[in-house]
Amino acid sequence: MSEAVPAEITKEPVVLDEGLRAFFGEKTASNYFHWGMTLLLLLVLVKELIAPSWIVTWSHEKWGHVTVDPVLGIGIGMIAGFMGGAAGAFISLFSIPLYTLWLGLPVKVALGTNSLASAIIGLFAAWVHFTKGTPNIKLAIPMMIFGFIGAALGAYISLGLSSQTLKLYFAVLVFVAAGWMIFRVFFPTESHGAAWIKTDKKGLLIAEGTWRNETYRTDIISPGIGNLGIAVLSGILGVGGGFLFTPMLHAVFGLPMVVAIGTGNFVKVANIGSQFVVRGVAETVIYALAVFAMLGGYFGAHLGRRLALAVDPKYLRLIFGVALIIVGLRYVGIKLF
C-alpha cells in the first residue's frame, strides 16, 4: 500500500503553479493580444539597440541639445512601467533617471518628455479603474482641481531652477520614496480614518461609499488642499505624486486602499497633465520619444501588475526600494558597480 504524500510536500508546487497562472493569465484573446504586443515591442527594441534606424537631433537654445533614437523610449517605458505596475507607483522615479542617464537627455527635457508619456498612461489607468468602479469621483474632482493648479505652478518654478538643483531634489525624493517602500515592508500602512467627520454627517462637501463591506466617509476639501502641496512638489520634480497622496487617502482620510488607488489615478492625470501643458509650452518635450515610452510603459505596467498578482507585494517593495536607492546614488554621481 502506497504512503500518503505529506501536505507540506505538495503545497509548494501548487503555489508555484498558481503564481505562474496569475502571471501568464488566461487563454483569452485580450491576454494573447497583450503578450503578442509585448513581445513585438521587445523585438523592435532589440533591433534598434543592435542597428538603429531612426535618429532624431533635438535642440533648443535654452534647454540644450541631444541626439537620440526615439524608439529606445520603448525600453524606458517597459522598465519604468513594469516596476510601477508591480509596486503600484513610482513610475516617474525610474523613467526620469533613465531618460537622463541612458539617453543623455537634459534634465528639463526629461521632465517634459516624461510628463506627456505619464499623462497618457495615466488616462489608460484611470479608465481601467473607472470601469471597475473603484474611484470616488466626488472626492477626485476637487483634488484634481487643486492638483492641476499646484502642479502647473511647480512645473513653472522648475523651469527656473538649475539642472544640478533639480537633480539634487530628485535624488532626495528617490531616497525618501525608497525608504518609505522598505519601511512598508516591515510596517504596513494602517488606516486611521477621517476622525473629524462624524458618522452621521452628510452633504455636498462629504464623500462616502462602500467597498467590499468597508464603509468610508470624509470631506472633499481637506484632501484637495493636501494634494495642492503635493502637486506643487510633484510639479517641481516632474512626478505624479501618487506615492504621496495615495497613502494619504488611505491612512489619513480612511479610504480603502483599492478606492484610494482608483481615486488617485484620476488625480495623477491632473497633476501630470498640467505639467505637460506648462512644459509643452516651454518646448521641453520630445514628442516621438514620449509616444514610444508611452507604448512601452502601458505594456510594461501590464506585466508588472501580473507579477504583483503572482508574488507577495512585500518582496517586490523590498527589491524596488533597493533599486531606487541604487538609482538615486547613480543620479548624484555615485556608482556602486
Judged on CB neighbours under 10 Å (0-12, 13-18, 19+), 116 is: buried
Which residue do the cell numbers 537627455 mark? Answer: 105
Q: First vs last Cα of the chain: how many Å apart? A: 58
In a domain, 95, yes or no: yes
Q: Is 241 helix (H, G, I), strand (E, B) or coil?
A: coil
Do the domain assignments include residue 138? Answer: yes
Residue 164 lies in a domain: yes
Q: What whole-number percentage of the chain has pLDDT above 70?
A: 85
- pLDDT exceeds cutoff 80 at 307: no
Residue among 19, 75, 21 nearest 50 (CA)? 75
| CA 234 to chain CA mean position, Å | 12
**In whole angstroms, what is the distance from residue 33 CA to residue 296 CA?**
14
Got the DSSP string for 201-216?
A: --STTEEEEEETTEEE
**What's the angle, vertex CA 143, arms to CA 211 and CA 241, rounded to 5?**
90
Q: Look at residue 2 and tell me if it is in a domain.
A: no
Number of domains in the chain: 1
Q: What is the pLDDT of residues 33-53, one digit of tens each?
A: 888 999 999 999 999 999 998
Residue 337 within a domain: no
* pLDDT reported for residue 6: 47
- Quick: pLDDT tens for 88-144: 666 788 889 889 989 999 999 999 999 998 888 888 778 877 887 888 999 999 999
Q: Which domain holds residue 230?
A: 7-331
CB atoms within 10 A of CB 318: 16
How many residues are there in the chain? 337
CB 229 within 8 A of CB 83: no
Q: 264 lies in a domain?
A: yes
Q: Answer yes or no: is 150 within a domain.
A: yes
What is the reported pTM? 0.81
Residue 1 lies in a domain: no
> Residue 28: what are its φ and ψ, rounded to 5°?
-120, 160
Distance CA 160, CA 330 (A): 24
Amino acid at 102: W
pLDDT in tens, 200-236: 666 778 888 888 788 888 889 999 999 999 999 999 9
CB 310 within 8 A of CB 23: yes
